[in-house]
Amino acid sequence: MDRTTTPTMRAVSQETAGAPEVLRITEVRRPAPGRGEILVRVHAAGVNPADWKIRERGVFADGTPLPFRLGFDVSGVVEETGDGVTVFRPGDEVFGMPRFPHPAGAYAEYLAAPARQFAHRPRGLTHVESAALPLAGLTAWQALVDTADVRPGQRVLVHAAAGGVGHLAVQIAKARGGHVIGTASAAKHDLLRSLGADELVDHRTRDFTEAVHDVDVVLDAVGGADWARSLRVLRPGGRLISLLPLDGTFPHEQAEAAGVRAEFMLVEPDRQGLREIAGLVEDGRLRVIADAVFPWEEVAAAHALGEAGRTTGKIVLSVTP
């Protein structure tokens, strides 16, 4: 194809590591879907802690160096299908977290990725709400359902319960019949009760180890000192699932001595998980909170807000009105 007719699009690009201001909207070549892929016209893209950590370091976890484009969460409309795709057609509304932890480039007008890393957008949700779901929702689902297999009556402790992963984890654990305990500031307790939390601990004023006991599963997105303290509230045979790598600061010997399991879980693309999550939404058992929505031209401000750590739920970029 002649260069003068090559289709282009706008996308958020990054050429250097650093503060949010390194993010720029530039014009780049529009991708074409390969075999087994779909081309999605992006309506909204979720913002995740992984995004601003990658931006600051200037390298993806898989080693992909600068320059690159950020963004994993996406909700949009299928524009075109590649050879062999049978699960979607142009015009279908989809959401997903394609290619994670490899670059996907969701902060863009278009994205091409494997069709089976998407699912149909949940009925009743806007694109903004759908874009808030994939990474956080799949993380909570894969931790609590696939890894911990939470069952009715089990006691589940969710740290940072009002966060992007936490507020969904509370609801997924509740949908599984769990007794859900969350740590969060007092200002967020009413919201968490409305989402199904049975017990809440204000981590700013009280040590959760004094308030919580006999826990079957701890979901920890905080790390650090909470690792060691979480072991003290688990029952023998309980499980601590960390969303942060278990490094040299983790008390492995203490976990073994306490008779509990401690493991690190990394989320991965999962079409079936997305469909299960969509089902919970459509049944009225899962509500996603998009706490802050920015026009994607204000991507730097969205990253700055996320890094400040004061949000409830998710931050989303609106790409296509």
Q: Is the pLDDT of residue 72 over 50?
A: yes
Q: Is the pLDDT of residue 271 over 80?
A: yes
Other Cβ atoms closer than 10 A to 192: 24
**Does the structural domain 136-264 have CATH classification 3.40.50.1820?**
no
Per-residue confidence at 4, pLDDT binned at 50, 70, 90? Answer: low
Average pLDDT rounded to a whole number, residues 271-278: 98
Please list, residue by residue across 3-18, b when 16 or more beta carbons sit within 10 angstroms of its beta carbon and e when fewer do: eeeeeebbbbbbeeee
Question: Among candidates 213, 242, 202, 214, which has minimal Cα distance to 226?
Answer: 242
Average pLDDT rounded to a whole number, residues 289-306: 96
**The predicted structure's pLDDT at residue 222:** 84
**The predicted structure's pLDDT at residue 235:** 96
Written out in words, the top-level CATH class of the domain with range 3-133+288-318 is alpha beta
**The predicted structure's pLDDT at residue 1:** 42
Question: pLDDT per residue over 92-142, tens digit each?
Answer: 999 999 999 999 999 999 999 999 999 999 999 999 999 999 999 999 999
Question: pLDDT per residue over 166-187, tens digit each?
Answer: 999 999 999 999 999 999 999 9
What is the pLDDT of the chain when averaged over all its residues? 95
**Segments making up each domain of the chain, as ranges:** 3-133+288-318, 136-264
Please state, in angstroms and rounded to a whole number, the distance separating the CA atoms of residues 14 and 149: 39
Please state, in angstroms and rounded to a whole number, the distance separating the CA atoms of residues 79 and 110: 9
Q: What percent of the chain has pLDDT over 90?
A: 88
**The predicted structure's pLDDT at residue 228:** 83
HSE at residue 220, side-chain half, CA atoms within 13 A, is 27
Question: pLDDT per residue over 244-256, tens digit each?
Answer: 888 777 878 889 9
Per the CB < 8 A criterion, the answer to whether 313 and 48 are in contact is no
Average pLDDT rounded to a whole number, residues 273-277: 98
> Can you tell me which residue has the tokens 């993806």?
60
Comparing 137 with 61, the larger pLDDT belongs to 137
Please list, residue by residue across 271-309, b when 16 or more beta carbons sit within 10 angstroms of its beta carbon and e when fewer do: eebbebbbebbeeeebbbbbbbbbebeebbebbebbeee
Average pLDDT rounded to a whole number, residues 246-269: 89
> Can you tell me which residue has the tokens 């929505």?
293
